[in-house]
Amino acid sequence: MKYIALLLFVFSLQVSAQSSMRRCTLLPVTDSVGGAIGFKVFEEVEEGLKKSNWCTYVSNSSLIHIFSRYRENLPQYLKQKEVLRTVAEKLQVGSIIRVALVNEINGVEIQLEVHGEDGEDIYFGEKTLVNTDEIETISQTIKNWLDTYSKTIPYDAKINGILGDQITLDVGKGYPIQVGQSFIVKRPVVKKKHPLLKKIVDWETEVLAEGKVFNISDNQALGMVKVYKSDKKLLAGDWVRLETFKSDAFSDEKIDEKKEEEPGKLGIVTVALFGSSSSVDTSTPTGSKRVSGNLFGFDFRGEGWITRQYFAALEVARSIGKLSEVSGNPEKSSTNAQFGVFKLTGGYKYLPIGFFYGPQIDIYGGYANYVFDLDYSAADGFGKGNISGILLGVAANIPVNREYRFIVQADFLPFPSFADSDDIYGSASSVSALDLEIGVKYQYTPRMTLDGSIETLAAKAKFDGEYKEISYHDNIKLKFGASFNY
């Protein structure tokens, strides 16, 4: 977790401290008949909020045990600004809906207020007397009011992440937003309250920028700022108002062009060539020996996205070359070498701003097999061996700007095993393998990046017999290749 925090700090991602009014929760509905009406009304209204597209509904179930302590005085308790502020903080919501039902002789009085996250501001309030206690009638009245309230929210979305000219927008699930839709970024300057009712009646704002939406996913959208109207820097929490979408703005030809510009959505294939400075060290009955040289090979990696955040990957690499004597006077002054890598992994992709355009942190695990094949020489401890086992790793892909991304990856085998095909060493007492890589990606086209990286591999096995140790190193491996979205 420390590494993740460091990477996010380097990226300097801005996170809003204010929750959106389009994130809402419904407090327990109180009544004057011991909850006989309130509980059923709560269920009806909550179900409507879950299906609505103006609000991302957050259940208060995690706080229900707290509410239950104040059952006798719950209506008064839910009016306290400290309580409302705590609810907003715990649930990260910007609209707190409070409903109170009061039974009268000739019907039920319905009271509704929508509070802001500070517990003080009242964004919306209504009260009426209905001459029935039917659950459906009461619930529908509240739903109609909330629909009216949704139209008074002074923005369609809030900025919750910024990367250069790209911004991520927090929108309600299913909110009517479309790719290509224009937007205006505003910042609230002054909020005006009704002098008697204390409700927010108006907002003064200043226009900061204009742009267009170019990607949508779940409760978020990705926008590109085209024009800045102010010298003020955009901040997380700024408001975004969507313009009326013009369906004729994109002809079939432009749509086809746009599809060509969009990255793939199924996965990534990476192909690279590399050269490495490699070495092998052995500890034999006749002393320690070392050979080194240059190997050349290829690396193939395919990654498929199972869902938005889960992936599976396959990596295969192979290199060949010749290693020559460095020290120890081995019987073979040079030996042919073939190194191979096989990794089958799967994991979770953490996207801090919700899109692949932003930073990515992969946490993964699987199986790995490293093969090291040298010309056979028992006296030198040379032969064919492999180190394999469960693999664990973490990788980060951080944008530096719109064209370049910084990548870093580290994986290791926590409980590896060593197999000696030529039966020179026997059973190993301890085995280790660590693979590190750091590099840069250049966005050559929307579907293709040019990649360059430096990788190092260290694998070692120790024994209790006459042959004490063998270690394999790709000391410096320079990789150049390309990645393709599909």
Question: Does pLDDT of 413 surpass 90?
Answer: yes
User: What's this model's pTM, rounded to 2 decimal places?
Assistant: 0.59
Q: Of residues 96 and 265, which shows the higher confidence score?
A: 96
* Distance in angstroms (rounded) separating the CA atoms of residues 186 and 248: 26
Band (172; pLDDT cuts 50, 70, 90): low
Contact 123, 21 (CB under 8 A): yes
- Per-residue pLDDT reduced to its tens digit, 418-429: 999 888 998 999
Q: What is the pLDDT of residue 197?
A: 64
Query: What are 477's two structure tokens?
Result: 């491996």
- Per-residue pLDDT reduced to its tens digit, 356-369: 567 889 999 999 99
Query: What are 195's two structure tokens?
Result: 């002098």
* Distance in angstroms (rounded) separating the CA atoms of residues 95 and 353: 22
Q: Does the CA dihedral 6-11-12-13 come out positive or negative?
A: negative
* Distance in angstroms (rounded) separating the CA atoms of residues 74 and 63: 13
Closest CA to 118 of 200, 176, 178: 200
Instruction: Write down all domains in the chain, each with its CATH number in brackets.
Output: 23-150 (3.40.50.10610), 154-261 (2.40.10.410), 267-485 (2.40.128.90)
User: What are the CB-based long-range contacts (under 8 Å, 24+) for 61-70?
Assistant: 62/90, 62/91, 63/87, 63/90, 63/91, 64/28, 67/27, 67/28
**How far is C-alpha 412 from the chain's CA centre?**
23
* Distance in angstroms (rounded) separating the CA atoms of residues 261 and 240: 25
What's the Cα-to-Cα distance from 71 to each of 30, 88, 90, 127, 133, rounded to whole Å? 9, 20, 20, 23, 22
* Distance in angstroms (rounded) separating the CA atoms of residues 227 and 243: 15
The torsion defined by the Cα of 33, 35, 39 and 42, in degrees rounded to 10, comes to: 70
Strand partners, 216: 221
Q: Does the CA dihedral 229-230-236-239 come out positive or negative?
A: negative
Q: Give me the mean pLDDT over the 454-465 stretch.
A: 94
**How far is C-alpha 334 from the chain's CA centre?**
49
For residue 42, which phi and psi values (nearest 5 degrees)?
Answer: -55, -45
Rg, Å, the chain Cα set:
31
Q: Of residues 415 and 305, which shows the higher confidence score?
A: 415
Q: What is the pLDDT of residue 419?
A: 93
Q: What is the 3-state secondary structure (H, E, C) of 183-232?
A: EEEEEEEEEEECCCCCEEEEEEEEEEEEEEEEEEECCEEEEEEEEECCCC
Q: What is the pLDDT of residue 10?
A: 34
Residue 204 CB-density burial (10 A; 0-12 exposed, 13-18 middle, 19+ buried):
exposed
Least confident stretch, 49-53, 245-249, 400-404, 472-476: 245-249
Question: Does pLDDT of 200 surpass 90?
Answer: no
Band (162; pLDDT cuts 50, 70, 90): confident
Question: Does pLDDT of 383 surpass 70?
Answer: yes
Q: Does the CA dihedral 258-263-267-271 come out positive or negative?
A: positive
Q: Give me the mean pLDDT over the 443-470 stretch.
A: 92
H helices, E strands: number in the chain: 7, 22
Strand-by-strand arrangement of the 107-115 sheet: 56-57, 23-26, 95-104, 107-115, 122-130
* Distance in angstroms (rounded) separating the CA atoms of residues 267 and 404: 19
Band (406; pLDDT cuts 50, 70, 90): very high
* Distance in angstroms (rounded) separating the CA atoms of residues 279 and 322: 10
Q: What is the pLDDT of residue 195?
A: 67
pLDDT, the chain, mean: 85
- Per-residue pLDDT reduced to its tens digit, 299-331: 999 999 887 689 999 999 999 999 999 998 898
Neighbours of 144 (CB within 10 A): 11
In the chain, what percentage of residues exceed pLDDT 90?
A: 48
- Per-residue pLDDT reduced to its tens digit, 203-221: 888 999 999 988 887 667 8
Closest CA to 26 of 136, 140, 115, 148: 115
Question: Does pLDDT of 258 surpass 60?
Answer: no
Band (196; pLDDT cuts 50, 70, 90): low
- Per-residue pLDDT reduced to its tens digit, 18-77: 678 888 999 989 888 777 888 899 999 999 999 888 888 998 888 877 777 666 677 788
* Distance in angstroms (rounded) separating the CA atoms of residues 230 and 228: 6
Q: Of residues 455 and 258, which shows the higher confidence score?
A: 455
Residue 63 per-residue DSSP state = G
Q: Give me the mean pLDDT over the 189-202 stretch.
A: 75
**How far is C-alpha 441 from the chain's CA centre?**
19
Band (202; pLDDT cuts 50, 70, 90): confident
In the chain, what percentage of residues exceed pLDDT 70?
A: 88
Q: Does the CA dihedral 245-250-256-261 come out positive or negative?
A: negative
Closest CA to 138 of 264, 44, 26: 44
Q: Give me the mean pLDDT over the 242-248 stretch.
A: 71
227 Cβ neighbours under 8 A, 6+ residues apart: 209, 210, 211
Q: What is the pLDDT of residue 16?
A: 38
Helix axis angle for 135-150 and 38-51, nearest 10°, is: 40
- Per-residue pLDDT reduced to its tens digit, 71-117: 667 778 888 888 888 898 889 898 999 999 998 888 899 999 999 98
For residue 141, which phi and psi values (nearest 5 degrees)?
Answer: -60, -45
Question: Does pLDDT of 252 surpass 80?
Answer: no
Least confident stretch, 141-150, 199-208, 436-445: 199-208
